[in-house]
């Protein structure tokens, strides 16, 4: 079909449509004329009150349903937008933390510190639960090493027997203390505060030992069958003598 | 906050629907009664018409008063006719029977329209057209509803709507062409 022929066809269709529009408008006009307002209140066609009540209940029920549907649609739209927003926010935050070194270090340190604290607390609790204590004397069923020499004036004030270690606490009347510890576990990481301390290597029972002196506190750490530590507020010579005196009970 | 807003909006809608009911229910009842000649059936027709209206309220709100009046009459009339047909099926002249004698071909559009008295004829002939056909032409060409919207308002299938529209057009053309042929013979 050529262009002018199709244009004529389209024009005819528009004319027909206009004709129908005119006809429809006439029809609506007729309806309005047939139903004047003054007829509306004619008593013959009054609806009974019970029908009115029924209709109003119907309208109310319909509207409750509509309200619920609207709320549901709006909530879903809102939640999906909120979810997308949170996702974008979280993603951005992760990217920023990962790409900025200072933030990354800080974030990791926070995580590690939390873990350290948690681990620390756990260890304390376990040990407390299994600590056996005795006062003034080494218990008869003591299963570890004990120093055979105790510096003058010191006596046993406490012993502890735990899964991972045994410890004997000594004290004198002046309140000075010595602690002897035997570590059972082969996976012990013992640290000695050697910062600003006088440190020397000595030998205890042919094993290398570390002796550190700092602010009146003498620490000796060495390994034989087990890892041992002796820490006290006593003269270095006395401490060395005490360390060398340990025997298995 | 969303609940309050939705409830507020819905309260407005409910007031409008109730207001529409209070304004138009009696007239709709009158129209339904004239077709059905039975109180209870007429009430059923009004109820069903209002259900259809409430499902399409957004389209109706904002239309002017007279337009709404005519629209509600159209809706209740068609609902009443459907109720009537269902109850008196074997006796009613259904719309499907009406268009048996609608020819596919007829006078051309030019022959119908190229006449100064066309508009007068259209205004007259629309009164002679079957009310269901006239109503559906109004819904389509005056209220400018889509076929799916008309289907929801009248509660009939879209296919049915398209069929009725086709037949309504043909029917009006036929009425106009009969007039035209009569004029030509003179």
Percentage with pLDDT > 70 across chain A: 82
Report yes or no: B45 at the A interface, CB cutoff 8 Å.
Answer: no
Report if residue A87 sits inside a domain.
Answer: no
Compute the distance between CA of residue A52 and CA of residue A64 in angstroms, rounded to an integer: 18
CB contact under 8 Å between A56 and B21, yes or no, is: yes
Q: When comparing pLDDT for B185 and A205, which is higher?
A: A205
Q: What is the pLDDT of residues A7-27, one digit of tens each?
A: 888 888 888 889 899 999 999
CB contact under 8 Å between A35 and B27, yes or no, is: yes
Percentage with pLDDT > 90 across chain B: 38
> φ and ψ at B106, to 5 degrees?
-175, -165
Identify whether residues B29 and B59 lie together within a single domain. Answer: yes
How many angstroms separate the CA of residue A4 from the nearest CA in chain B? Answer: 17
Percentage with pLDDT > 90 across chain A: 41
Residue B8 pLDDT exceeds 70: no
Q: Is residue A61 very low, low, confident or very high in pLDDT (cuts 50, 70, 90)? A: confident
Question: In this structure, are residues B138 and B150 in contact, taking their beta carbons and an 8 Å threshold?
Answer: no
H-run or E-run covering B33: helix B2-36
Q: What is the pLDDT of residues A187-210, one digit of tens each?
A: 677 777 777 888 999 999 999 999
Report if residue A22 sits inside a domain.
Answer: yes
Q: What is the pLDDT of residues B89-138, one digit of tens each?
A: 655 455 554 544 555 555 566 566 555 577 788 888 999 999 999 999 99
In order, the DSSP letters of B80-149 are HHHHHHHHTTTTS--HHHHGGG--S--S-HHHHHSSTTHHHHHHHHHHHS-HHHHHHHHHHHTS---HHH
3-state secondary structure A10-24: HHHHHHHHHHHHHHH
Identify whether residues B78 and B107 lie together within a single domain. Answer: no
Identify whether residues B120 and B186 lie together within a single domain. Answer: yes
**In terms of DSSP bridges, do strands A177-183 and A227-232 run parallel, antiparallel, or are they unpaired?**
antiparallel
Identify whether residues B138 and B170 lie together within a single domain. Answer: yes
Average per-residue pLDDT for chain A: 82
Highest mean pLDDT: which range of A32-41, A62-71, A130-139, A231-240 = A231-240
Report if residue A42 sits inside a domain.
Answer: no
How many angstroms separate the CA of residue B144 from the nearest CA in chain A? Answer: 9
How many angstroms separate the CA of residue A70 from the nearest CA in chain B? Answer: 7
Degrees, nearest 5: CA angle B72-B75-B79: 140
CB contact under 8 Å between B43 and A47, yes or no, is: yes
Torsion angle of alpha carbons A182, A188, A189, A193, nearest 10°? -10
Identify whether residues B31 and B118 lie together within a single domain. Answer: no
Report yes or no: A14 at the B interface, CB cutoff 8 Å.
Answer: no
The chain A residue lying nearest B53, using CA atoms, is A59
| Count, residues in chain A | 249
Q: What is the pLDDT of residues A211-247, one digit of tens each?
A: 999 988 999 999 988 899 999 999 999 999 999 999 9
How many domains, in total, are found in chain A? 2
How many domains, in total, are found in chain B? 2
Identify whether residues B86 and B121 lie together within a single domain. Answer: no
Report if residue A123 sits inside a domain.
Answer: no
Specify the CATH number for the domain of residue A158. Answer: 3.30.200.100
Report if residue A14 sits inside a domain.
Answer: yes
Check residue B119 and give its pLDDT: 78
The residues in A 42-61 lying below 8 A from B, measured between CB atoms, are: 42, 45-48, 51-52, 54-56, 58-60
Question: In this structure, are residues A142 and A248 in contact, taking their beta carbons and an 8 Å threshold?
Answer: no
Last residue of a domain, one of B47, B72, B92: B92
Identify whether residues B137 and B68 lie together within a single domain. Answer: no
How many angstroms separate the CA of residue A92 from the nearest CA in chain B? Answer: 29
Nearest to A47 among B2, B13, B26 (CB): B26
Specify the CATH number for the domain of residue B12. Answer: 1.10.1740.10
The residues in B 6-25 lying below 8 A from A, measured between CB atoms, are: 6-7, 9-10, 13-14, 17-18, 21, 25
Compute the distance between CA of residue B66 and CA of residue B60 in angstroms, rounded to an integer: 12
Degrees, nearest 5: CA angle B78-B88-B151: 25
Identify whether residues B5 and B87 lie together within a single domain. Answer: yes
Question: In this structure, are residues B154 and B76 in contact, taking their beta carbons and an 8 Å threshold?
Answer: no
Identify whether residues B67 and B145 lie together within a single domain. Answer: no
CB contact under 8 Å between B135 and A66, yes or no, is: no
Question: Helices B158-185 and B131-141, interaxial angle, to 10°?
Answer: 110
Q: Is residue A111 very low, low, confident or very high in pLDDT (cuts 50, 70, 90)? A: low
> What residue numbers bound the domain in which A28 lies?
1-34
Report if residue A94 sits inside a domain.
Answer: no
CB contact under 8 Å between B13 and A21, yes or no, is: no
Identify whether residues B142 and B77 lie together within a single domain. Answer: no
Specify the CATH number for the domain of residue B140. Answer: 1.10.10.10
Furthest-apart CA atoms within chain B: distance in Å: 73
* Cross-strand bridge partners of residue A247: A146
Check residue A110 and give its pLDDT: 65
Check residue A122 and give its pLDDT: 36
The chain B residue lying nearest A36, using CA atoms, is B27
Beta-carbon contacts of A183 under 8 Å, excluding residues fewer than 6 positions away, are A164, A165, A190, A226, A227, A228, A229
Check residue B169 and give its pLDDT: 92
> What residue numbers bound the domain in which B150 lies?
101-186
Residue B152 pLDDT exceeds 80: yes
Question: In this structure, are residues B120 and B76 in contact, taking their beta carbons and an 8 Å threshold?
Answer: no
How many angstroms separate the CA of residue A129 from the nearest CA in chain B? Answer: 54
Identify whether residues B121 and B56 lie together within a single domain. Answer: no
The residues in B 121-140 lying below 8 A from A, measured between CB atoms, are: 122-123, 125-127, 129, 134-135, 137-138, 140
Last residue of a domain, one of B92, B113, B130: B92
Burial B99-136 (b: 16+ CB within 10 A, else e): beeeeeebbeeeebbeeeebeebbbebbeebbbbbbbb
Identify whether residues B37 and B71 lie together within a single domain. Answer: yes
Last residue of a domain, one of B92, B112, B135: B92
Chain B environment of A42 (Cβ under 8 Å): 26, 30
Report if residue A19 sits inside a domain.
Answer: yes
3-state secondary structure chain A: CCHHHHHHHHHHHHHHHHHHHHHHHHHHHHHHHHCCHHHCCCHHHCCCHHHHHHHHHHHHHHHHHHHHHHHHHHHHHHHHHHHHHHHHHHHHHHHHHHHCHHHHHHHHHHHHHHHHHHHHHHHHHHHHHCCEEECCCCCCCCCCEEECCCCCCCEEEEEEECCCEEEEEEECCCCCEEEEEEECCCCCCCCCCCCCCEEEEEEECCEEEEEEEECCEEEEEEECCCEEEEEECCCHHHHHHHHHCEEEC
Q: When comparing pLDDT for B5 and B168, which is higher?
A: B168
């Amino acid at each position: 079909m050529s262009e002018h022929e199709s244009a004529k066809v389209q024009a005819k269709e528009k004319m027909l449509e206009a004709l129908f529009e005119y006809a429809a408008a006439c029809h609506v006009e007729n309806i309005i004329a047939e139903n004047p307002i003054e007829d509306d209140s004619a008593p013959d066609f009054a609806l009974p009150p019970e029908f009115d009540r029924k209709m109003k209940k119907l309208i109310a029920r319909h509207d409750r349903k509509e309200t619920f549907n609207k709320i549901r649609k709006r909530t879903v739209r809102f939640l999906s937008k909120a979810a997308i927003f949170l996702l974008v926010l979280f993603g951005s935050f992760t990217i920023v933390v990962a790409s900025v070194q200072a933030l990354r270090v800080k974030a990791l340190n926070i995580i590690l510190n939390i873990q350290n604290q948690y681990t620390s607390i756990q260890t304390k609790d376990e040990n407390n639960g299994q600590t056996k204590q005795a006062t003034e004397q080494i218990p008869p069923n003591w299963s570890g090493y004990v120093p055979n020499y105790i510096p003058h004036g010191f006596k046993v004030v406490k012993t502890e027997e735990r899964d991972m270690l045994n410890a004997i606490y000594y004290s004198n009347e002046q309140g000075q203390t010595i602690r002897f510890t035997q570590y059972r576990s082969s996976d012990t990481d013992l640290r000695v505060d050697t910062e600003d301390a006088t440190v020397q290597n000595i030998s205890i029972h042919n094993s290398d030992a570390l002796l550190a002196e700092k602010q009146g506190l003498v620490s000796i750490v060495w390994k034989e069958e087990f890892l041992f530590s002796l820490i006290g507020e006593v003269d270095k010579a006395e401490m060395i003598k005490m360390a060398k005196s340990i025997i298995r009970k | 906050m969303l609940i309050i807003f939705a409830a507020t909006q819905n309260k407005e809608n409910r007031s409008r629907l109730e207001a529409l009911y209070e304004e138009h229910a009696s007239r709709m009842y009158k129209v339904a009664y004239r077709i059905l000649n039975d109180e209870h059936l007429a009430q059923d027709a009004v109820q069903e018409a209002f259900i259809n209206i409430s499902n399409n309220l957004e389209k109706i709100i904002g239309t002017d008063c007279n337009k709404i009046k005519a629209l509600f009459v159209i809706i209740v009339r068609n609902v009443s006719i459907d109720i009537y047909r269902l109850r008196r099926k074997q006796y009613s002249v259904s719309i499907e029977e009406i268009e048996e004698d609608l020819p596919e071909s007829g006078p051309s559009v030019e022959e119908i329209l190229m006449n100064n008295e066309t508009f007068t004829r259209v205004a007259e002939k629309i009164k002679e057209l079957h009310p269901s056909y006239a109503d559906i032409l109004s819904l389509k060409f005056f209220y400018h509803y889509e076929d799916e919207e008309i289907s929801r308002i009248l509660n009939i299938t879209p296919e049915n709507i398209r069929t009725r529209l086709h037949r309504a057009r043909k029917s009006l053309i036929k009425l106009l062409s009969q007039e035209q042929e009569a004029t030509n013979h003179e």
